[in-house]
Structure 1
Amino acid sequence: MASCVPMDISSEGVAQRAVSALPSARLLGIIRFQAELAKVDLDPAEVIRRVAGLAQMLTGASGAVVEMAEGDDMVYRAASGTAENQLGLRLARIGSLSGLCVAQGSPLYCEDSETDPRVDRQACRAAGLRSMVAVPLRHGDQTAGVLKVLSPHEKAFSEADLLTLELISDVVASTLAHARSYIAQVETVRDLFRRATEDSLTGLGNHALFYDRLHQAMKLARRQGQVLGIALVDMDGLKHINDLHGHLAGNAALRTLAGRLRALVRESDTVARLGGDEFGVLLASLTDSAAVRGYARKLADQVRGTFSYDGRLLDLRVSVGAVVFPDDGLEIESLFQLADQAMYEMKRSHHAVHSHTKHSAQT
């Protein structure tokens, strides 16, 4: 094989040539690799990590890398062997063998870095490299990167090695393309789910998420013979804030309340904005009715305080009503009615205390 010359290995017919040219052990290794990819759950990072290790093992290279073309750079996204400590390395596409491989879309073999003008001789000396092979990772007419094997010896690779890398690269490129498509679909579904179940103002779950979690939690509590706490939290004085300071101040109050509730509930609990100034909390980690009602009172006390808006301190208070499933009822509608009643009893008591305090201050 002549140095500095692209290898004439086209994708067409590679598989047929490989069957006759490659040792059966290599073919079996690639077949096993394809079977392993089915277990990776389409994670591109895991796919290319395994690719590097397989390429190094089958070709006897000292190291192997998967470089992805990202803008003007080639980036080491997976590495094994002597190249493992170079993970994340960025090299300019122009002036590199890998960049040229991407541009041409064909395998390239550097037999000797001391005589090959396409590589950085000093960089190869520093890395202890004399020969390397780069094959494109492509799907259709798109080349996303390269699979490259490395050796400290000149003319270290054979045509069987090149065929091996071609077969691996075809498998990997197809897998990555499907993985990207799958992940894009998953992310789209996740985004739609997030939009459908998230309150845009506070970032909490919305009523749809809350009721879904509530149904599931009630089924679990019924099955395991446990109790479930449900707390309705209503902001006191949101209309007053809106009327006196504007709706932006009211929005700030709601976001502040959401943040405090999120910080106070436990990891196993769920907090959501049900609409307007009303929030719901599922208390799945409490064990009895007394604990649920005690936690509801504690929640109201800990949320109470002031928050800063436009250089002013505004009061923030809430009323909380809590009920327990199944002690207080078995149906969501009846449980919510009881929680509403308890919440408004607390609200009336807050109003009475506030009116008494205001009257005393005036006299």
Structure 2
Amino acid sequence: MTDVQSSVTSDPYILMEIIRLQTEIAKLGLDLSGVVNEVVERVPGLTNAEGAIVEYTEGDEMVYRGASGIARPLLGTRVKRDACLSGLCASEGQILHSDDTLVDPRVNREPCELTGIRSMVVAPLKHDGSVVGALKLVSTLTHAFTARDVRVLELMSELIAAAMYYAARNETNALYQQATHDSLTGLANRSLFFDRLRHRILPGRRQIEPLGILVLDMDGLKHVNDSYGHRAGDAAIREMALRISRIPRKSDLVARLGGDEFGVILSEISGSLDLIAIVERVSQETDQSFRFEGRTLHLTASIGHARYPEDGRDVDALLEAADRSMYQMKRTRTVRTAQPETPHKHVF
């Protein structure tokens, strides 16, 4: 292992990337979900992985709180702790491999079959002396990972563990809060949004409970950032989050999905007219100017909507339907910004 450690630390590219990542993590401060996302996005480029996952232990389940690459569609997935390799890793507190998931009884096959994962290596995430999760590298190839990859994985897991310590100290509840909520707005984050949405439309439910979802893009945020600076942009995001949060009920979930994107899960939607009425109320609330340091800035948002089960019976179908609805609004409405942003497809 000494030779492997030496090969990693003597590799100028790997060393510089780790230093850059440490710098980015330091900038994120107490934003634990931001740290998790940064690590899972960067670690595949340093290893043979085609994707990376951060899972948290929550009761008897492992919950996917960060995912990149081929694993991105699994964000928010819940797997029984005693039926997966990461749960075993968390229980034993040591790094575990699976060179071929098709023949490994320790692996939960369903997520692997969904994404084509054929091999994985997983390291424990430790906080305050306890294992609270796992960092996993995945590949569509069998026998994909080397001892060098394992060492990089160890270093990455140590970075997340350090971020956990500074974000939450010894408080488990604070750790959960940091992992599932956006630091800028205080809203639920992307991970919690997908977790709740998957749970609500879980296949095999005896009784279907209709729900609605909204996806929102802020219009003109780039213009605000370019013209007035990122402090103004952050203020605009916080103001938009506040306005969106005024409409839903306590049983609903409002989330910041990242950047200028928001999502809402609406319970007890009786029909399409009910959902459209909420969209109109949110549109009226968000289509207002606000004051920032003596300036009047205009806010608008393009809003898409979909209803379960009419518009789709799985997460992807629902989000695609909501995206189509949103881009229809973008095409038909007059955006009241000097330099409106070019519509871009959501990457869910």
TM-score range (shorter-chain normalised) is: 0.3 to 0.5
Q: What TM-score do you get using the length of structure 1 for normalisation?
A: 0.44
Q: Decide which structure has the larger Cα Rg and report it.
A: 1
Greater relative contact order structure (CA < 8 Å, 6+ sep)? 2
